Structure 1
């Protein structure tokens, strides 16, 4: 049987959740589990995240999956509902919504009494400069005042566009707008910190923090590794050696013959490719890890196979190769691919087997 496997380390996930508690001890934790827990598998991650105060998802389908798995923590739809008929479902399932435009407010008001009866908070999104979703100042102040007057409990929410960047001018603009609205709407619950902001601005943790990528042991910063942040990688993505070859100087490897050997070398062929979600376009040299030792990927990534340099390595058929995990960090693979760890984790296909460690 083909051995391409995604291992999920539950203890590492719990460790990272505890790091959030250390960094934001007075805030409630809304663990972000959207996009199938950032590609890790919701059903494999929720038990390890059971100490979260709440979960955050992008859409109703993701929220209902959590409920169907038996978890009863509050859930927040971070993009809100997409149609009027979803409103009764979120009330029945005790799911909280973000509102970021007038139509959502209209749907909420049509079910206001039932929403309040379930003791659900309404999250009101501030557009402070990211310009995706939300009400701008002063409209959001009026919206929150109206909702409070109607008996609803509000959470003022915002998302940073550049929390991972030092000294970006938009950071101060977003902070100032958020604090302005928070003061104008006092008393109001507040939430603005994602993973990067949890590390950088503890004074902004307020009532709820929303950790995402840090839970899964990848870094929200380009210049800091998970080790720098005292986080543990949760996913190990691995495959096995299925063939061993020797080539001579002048011989090429793979589609397009993009790699040409300059000396005799040993190759190992590994049962993984872009059909599994392993990235293909590498502008920089990429590596895998074998027994903690890194070796280069050579030639093009194919749908089902890659070639690696096995020269000087003691490999056999069936040797396990770490594509990313604890020795070859997903952030490093992403950097070589010109992208971010979030994308690689989220775009894994259903082909690899999944196992809890």
Structure 2
């Protein structure tokens, strides 16, 4: 019996890319594939996103894995490079680097290269994580322009800190600040992440860089993917491996953190934090069995979770499939119960879970 499994619906992935292009019809698409394509499988996902104009990853090893997988699309390193010794690797593999500090500019200027590389200059407009200060823009931009190691067209970018919340004025402030800074630059602009694409059309610019929404998940506060016409790509499932009758007032699981006030039935399912399911998921976190919602109870163990199925009128049996999240149970909802975000749930799926890719183009 196949137990913990992640079904990856490649037709949903293609659908979501089409939705993004419809939302931002004038922009090119940089598909964000960092963190193993948000837990979906880096190379396979990239192979089915070749209609994107570019890929973006966080680390050079991710970019090299894409090249090793036969992908020829432009690849942008969102954190740039960390050592001067990386720069020849960027050139050899046609990687593009996001430049966000003076140390990187110094290294580029001093590198002995056989040709120039493409760069994106990142400006900090309020995220205060990576990016040059606004008052450094003119000086650093001219240094890059004058370097023979840098291709002539220097794309300009920033990153939003609060775009998931339409009520927060921060994003409008960031957009206004960025556009004012770059007003005299005839360069391509990139502002919008997934939340920017959905919530802030004025930020679409020349490039958009969707991440979470590619996988059918909403980046917006109190929304789920289907609110934006998106389809979840991952369906995380397992099987019922036991059914138990538990008397009233008997504690269940490690620490006895749950007990029923009446006799009930429990389904034991083969899923736990060893598969990446959040150990801190609360009692009542939903799962789907036989088209019905039931709540998990007791502590999430390494390999098992108990689910209260009441008097089992649904007729749950050993071997039945359990959907932990997916098309019938949004991962956004599970994240709320676990007091986390969908990003973390998707990225934490462990190698013990078997992956099956469905609906690939023939």
Query: Which TM-score band applies after superposition, normalised by the shorter structure?
Result: over 0.9
Does the CA contact (< 8 Å) of 1:334 and 1:341 recur in 2?
Answer: yes
Does the CA contact (< 8 Å) of 1:5 and 1:238 recur in 2?
Answer: yes
Runs of 4+ in 1 over 4 A off after TM superposition: none
* Runs (5+) with no aligned partner, structure 2: none
Match of residue 78 from structure 2? 78
| CA distance in structure 2 between the partners assigned to 1:76 and 1:21 by the alignment | 19
| CA distance in structure 2 between the partners assigned to 1:226 and 1:232 by the alignment | 6
* Runs (5+) with no aligned partner, structure 1: none
The SS at the match of 1:338 is coil
Q: Does 1:142 align with 2:103?
A: no
Output aligned runs, 1:116-131, within 5 Å.
116=116, 120-131=117-128
Q: With structure 1 as the length reference, what TM-score do the two structures score?
A: 0.95
Does the CA contact (< 8 Å) of 2:84 and 2:111 recur in 1?
Answer: no
The size of the alignment, in residue pairs, is: 353
Mean CA deviation greater in 168-177 or 89-98:
168-177
The SS at the match of 1:314 is coil
| CA distance in structure 1 between the partners assigned to 2:112 and 2:26 by the alignment | 30
How far apart are 1:337 and its partner, in Å? 0.6
| CA distance in structure 2 between the partners assigned to 1:178 and 1:61 by the alignment | 31
How far apart are 1:106 and its partner, in Å? 1.6
The SS at the match of 1:227 is helix
| CA distance in structure 2 between the partners assigned to 1:169 and 1:198 by the alignment | 16
Q: With structure 2 as the length reference, what TM-score do the two structures score?
A: 0.94
Match of residue 98 from structure 2? 98
| CA distance in structure 2 between the partners assigned to 1:30 and 1:108 by the alignment | 24
Does the CA contact (< 8 Å) of 1:123 and 1:157 recur in 2?
Answer: yes
The RMSD of aligned alpha carbons is 1.5
The SS at the match of 1:140 is helix
Pair 104,115 (structure 1): closer, same or farther in 2 beyond 3 Å: farther
Match of residue 349 from structure 2? 348
Does the CA contact (< 8 Å) of 2:283 and 2:297 recur in 1?
Answer: no
Output aligned runs, 1:231-310, within 5 Å.
231-283=230-282, 285-310=284-309
How far apart are 1:113 and its partner, in Å? 5.9
How far apart are 1:283 and its partner, in Å? 4.3
Does the CA contact (< 8 Å) of 1:60 and 1:77 recur in 2?
Answer: yes
How far apart are 1:152 and its partner, in Å? 2.6
Superimposed CA distance per residue, residues 84-119 of structure 1 (whole angstroms, 9 cap, x where no aligned partner): 111000100000000111111122223486443xxx
Q: Does 1:220 align with 2:206?
A: no
Match of residue 55 from structure 1? 55
How far apart are 1:284 and its partner, in Å? 6.0
The SS at the match of 1:85 is helix
| CA distance in structure 1 between the partners assigned to 2:21 and 2:232 by the alignment | 18
Does the CA contact (< 8 Å) of 1:141 and 1:181 recur in 2?
Answer: no
